[in-house]
Amino acid sequence: MLAPERSPEMLEAEQMILDTVRQLVHEKVAPRAAEIDETGEYPRDLCELFAKNDLLGIPFPEEYGGLGSFVTYVKVVEEVAKACATSSLIIAVQELGALPIMIAGNEAQKQKYLPKLATGDLMTSYALTEPTSGSDAANMRTTAVREGGEYVLNGTKVFITNVAVADLCIVFAVTDKDLGPKGTSAFICHTDDPGFTLGKVEHKMGIRGSPTNEVVLNNCRIPADRLLGREGEGFRIAMATLDKSRPGIAAQALGIAQGALEFAATYLKERVAFGKPLSKQQGLQWMIADMDLETQAARLLLYEAARKCDLGADDVTYWGALCKLKCGDVAMKVTTDAVQLLGGYGYMTEYPVERMMRDAKITQIYEGTQQIQRIVIARRLLGK
């Protein structure tokens, strides 16, 4: 059943938000997208714009300053990503780094952090990946040792999105090396904690305005009350977070696909070859129809996954993987086809589709590669 079970008030609120977002994207985001990509500079002004318009905490529960809607959240990410994937990631990573607190935080932690994350007074990030544990996330080496009223963290995290512009970073570390995934714990680090330092800055193919850094924890001391949940619950928290954050990346992918599709369709109507607009060529009509078909199909999967998140359904792991897999692959295919439809112009930075193609690629890699999504899906059908 695809129809969201939502009240007329919620639907009206969503419509108002989406109208606002479309206008902001048109006026403020789209004109900046090419420059953000070219300079590789984080668009702090757009982060402030999203904060001012209450776009950073949409899926947060209402009592902590959110709207309590994943469906609205994914639609917002999609709208922003149509014009600028980097900018949409600001909203998606705020959710990624807030989810562990929503999922496992105690009341004091929720009260302390979530309202400020919803307003953008605090920005957050999520550090799971390590040099030798990407897909095999349970194999991490970072350690956290309890010393009196503190934990001392040591290790290196890599590819951490937006940590360079964040106040918080959720760090996963081993508290008992003999217990495998059950010996892993989650911590709320502040990026100005002693011993929390930023390492190498990555230079990337796409999402170039979003800083990606190594994080080096060198005797990083944090108060023990920054442990999320109990010791040993870290891997479960990391996975439960990804279940609900993967739809955000799927939404980013979908927005990129839709943006490329719309640009290519406009181009086909305007570009004349062999005495008529390209849009009159049946071969190209079939191509654009397939691009639209795949994008619409991906959208239905995504909205259903987001609805499952709102319902607190017990199969969000599966739906998160389904929508991330489909939307990421569609984004890659549709943007590649859009470049093809524009021919030589498509390959040039003067037109946005080559940027969209570069931006699409990461959606098949981060928050779990497409191969990991397939493992998650297959496990539901076949068991582990």
For the segment 228-287, give every residue that binds ligand CAA (CB under 6 A): 235-236, 239-240, 242-243
DSSP conformation class of 157:
E
Place of tokens 């109990």: 230
Distance of closest approach, residue 340 Cβ to ligand CAA, in angstroms: 28
Cα 19 vs. chain centroid, distance in angstroms? 22
Q: How many Å apart are CA 305 and CA 327, to the nearest integer?
A: 12
Identify which of 159, 162, 359, 134 has the alpha carbon closest to the alpha carbon of residue 238.
Answer: 134
Task: Give the binding range for ligand CAA (CB under 6 A) out of 15-23, 69-77, 187-195, 372-380.
Answer: 372-380
Catalytic residue list contains 9: no
Closer to ligand CAA by Cβ: residue 346 or 368: 368
Q: How many Å apart are CA 37 and CA 207, to the nearest integer?
A: 7
Quick check: 372 binds ligand CAA (CB under 6 A)? yes
For the segment 217-236, give every residue that binds ligand CAA (CB under 6 A): 235-236
Quick check: 138 binds ligand CAA (CB under 6 A)? yes
Task: Give the binding range for ligand CAA (CB under 6 A) out of 52-60, 140-148, 259-267, 363-371.
Answer: 363-371
Count residues near ligand CAA (CB under 6 A): 24
Q: How many Å apart are CA 194 and CA 54, to the nearest integer?
A: 31
Q: How many Å apart are CA 107 and CA 93, to the nearest integer?
A: 22
Task: Give the binding range for ligand CAA (CB under 6 A) out of 32-40, 54-62, 220-228, 361-369.
Answer: 361-369
Quick check: 209 binds ligand CAA (CB under 6 A)? no
Distance of closest approach, residue 92 Cβ to ligand CAA, in angstroms: 7
| Nearest residue (beta carbon) to ligand CAA | 368
Quick check: 366 binds ligand CAA (CB under 6 A)? yes
Query: On the CB side of 196, how many CA atoms lie within 13 Å of its CA?
Result: 22
Distance of closest approach, residue 101 Cβ to ligand CAA, in angstroms: 16
Helix (H, G, I), strand (E, B) or coil at 204: coil
Task: Give the binding range for ligand CAA (CB under 6 A) out of 37-45, 274-282, 348-356, 371-379.
Answer: 371-379
Closer to ligand CAA by Cβ: residue 142 or 161: 161
Q: Which residues pair with 221 in a beta bridge?
A: 152
Quick check: 80 binds ligand CAA (CB under 6 A)? no
For the segment 113-132, give every residue that binds ligand CAA (CB under 6 A): 126, 128-129
Task: Give the binding range for ligand CAA (CB under 6 A) out of 67-75, 146-154, 224-232, 369-377.
Answer: 369-377
Identify which of 201, 174, 176, 208 has the alpha carbon closest to the alpha carbon of residue 39.
Answer: 208
β-pair type (184-190, 168-174): antiparallel
Quick check: 88 binds ligand CAA (CB under 6 A)? no
Structure tokens at 105: 């935080």
Report the residue from 93, 189, 260, 325 that binds ligand CAA according to the rule CB under 6 A.
93
Helix (H) or strand (E) holding 186: strand 184-190
Structure tokens at 24: 């902001």
Closer to ligand CAA by Cβ: residue 33 or 140: 140
Helix (H, G, I), strand (E, B) or coil at 198: strand
Distance of closest approach, residue 384 Cβ to ligand CAA, in angstroms: 6
Residue 286 CB: number of other CB atoms within 10 A?
A: 10
The pattern of x and - marking residues 154 through 183 that bind ligand CAA according to CB under 6 A reads -----x-x-------------------x--
Closer to ligand CAA by Cβ: residue 91 or 257: 91
CA angle 86, 88, 94 (to 5 degrees): 105
Q: How many Å apart are CA 101 and CA 92, to the nearest integer?
A: 15
DSSP conformation class of 135:
S
Structure tokens at 199: 């390492």
Query: On the CB side of 337, how many CA atoms lie within 13 Å of its CA?
Result: 28
Q: Catalytic amino acids?
A: 367
Site for ligand CAA, rule CB under 6 A: 93, 96, 126, 128-129, 135, 137-138, 159, 161, 181, 235-236, 239-240, 242-243, 317, 366-368, 372, 375-376
